[in-house]
Amino acid sequence: MREVALLAGVSIKTVSNVVNDYPYVRPETRARVRHAISELGYRPNQSARGLRSGRTGVIGLAVPELRLNYFAELADAVISAAEARSLSVIIGQLGGDRDREMAVLTEGLRQADGLLFSPERLGIEDRDLLGRVNYPLVLLGERIFGGPTDHVSIHNSTAARAAVEHLLTLGRRRIAVVGTHPDGREDQIRPADLRLEGYREALAAAGIARDPQLERPVAPWHPQNGAEATRDLLASGVDFDAVFALNDMLALGVLRALGEAHRRVPDDVAVIGFDNVDAGRFTVPSLTSVDPGREEIARTAVDMLLERMDPGAHVRRPPRLHKARFRIVVRESTGDGPRQPS
């Protein structure tokens, strides 16, 4: 910084003001300092600046499992959104472990100025814990609603209903759902429960009675479990002409099992997933899916967290809930027209 000041003919304090975007610097002085910075290849020492400001320029992202493509692609989107705002990201993988989630909620992630937190095991019963958090926090996902923190979420029920309605418009009436939650607890809010709710609403609105044999519980949402659930469905002899998989990883397994059984997709069975992960574009056939608005989730969550990192923001602003826009991405696994009578 001293060398920049000498080359620009200004004080070290002026260089600091330019680096930190202090507004009251004359334009010609600012231009001279920036030219000197460019000439010398000067880069501010972020660690030193962090020690002075109490900020590191790093945010945390805590997710259940990067093995699930949705969370890996969400992490990628968060990193892109953070870099656009001159922030770095550290990632914690909590493995769906309640104790680890509690520890992160209590302490945050080391060296992070704030945290984007997507819990899997914490629930509504833990909502009061959010009020004790002493660092900037934005929740992701569906586990804890109505708390004192900002929250970015998905239109799970509405989007699931739209997915099933898409199948209905193609003439499908025996629609199986793969991925319901095995324990069926009524006191929890989980993506599986919300998506099942949307599935049932769509069928009811179409005048189709619920058939419990078409609702297949699966956990965790990995491809092999989707395949196994589909094999069980086929072995049961229950008639079905479509499958709604509650995430794309399950849908990959569904496609595999249908292929093994020589069921043609979409002619015999149409398949739709949820999450619109990149792998779905490359399956054979390519996978129709619900895009839940992952890029919007990442941008909104990072912006909310950045606002909360402003000193005193947690006092000035009430908690906000944002639900990202979704869309149905139609590909080969559902075809592009009504089913023809056999």
Query: Is 325 domain-assigned?
Result: no
* % of the chain exceeding 90 in pLDDT: 62
Total of domains in the chain: 3
Judge whether 251 lies within some domain.
yes
Domain assignment of residue 25, yes or no: yes
Q: Is residue 326 part of a domain?
A: no
Query: Does residue 144 sit in the same domain as residue 27?
Result: no
Cβ 146 vs Cβ 314: under 8 Å? no
243 half-sphere exposure, CB direction, 13 A CA radius: 37
CB atoms under 10 Å from CB of 35, counted, come to 13
* 71 and 193 together in one domain: no
Q: How many CB atoms are located within 10 Å of the residue 274 CB?
A: 29
Q: Which pLDDT value is given to residue 108?
A: 81
Q: Are residues 229 and 163 in the same domain?
A: yes
Examine residue 81 and state whether it is found in any structural domain, yes or no: yes
Closest CA to 81 of 66, 61, 65, 62: 61
Residue type, 28: E
Same domain, 182 and 136: no
Enclosing H/E stretch for 46: helix 46-53
Question: 221: domain range?
Answer: 156-291
251 and 175 in a common domain:
yes
Look-up of token digits 């025996």: 174
Rounded CA separation 280/46 (Å): 40
The reply to whether 211 and 135 lie within a common domain is no
Tell me: do 200 and 225 sit in the same domain: yes
Q: Do residue 235 and residue 108 come from a single domain? A: no
Report the chain (342 residues): mean pLDDT per 10 consecutive residues: 89 81 80 89 58 70 92 96 92 91 84 91 82 88 82 96 98 97 65 95 97 95 96 97 97 98 97 97 96 96 91 69 96 73 38
Q: Is residue 49 part of a domain?
A: no
Indicate whether 271 belongs to any domain: yes
172 and 278 housed in the same domain: yes
pTM for the full predicted model: 0.80
Is there a single domain that holds both residue 297 and residue 227? no
Judge if 29 and 102 occupy the same domain: no
Among 291, 317, 335, where does a domain finish? 291
* 338 assigned to some structural domain: no
pLDDT value, residue 45:
55
Cis previous bond, 220, omega within 30 = yes
Residue 261 phi, psi (nearest 5): -90, 5
CATH number at residue 197: 3.40.50.2300
**Do residue 162 and residue 287 come from a single domain?**
yes
Q: For residue 48, what pLDDT is reported?
A: 46
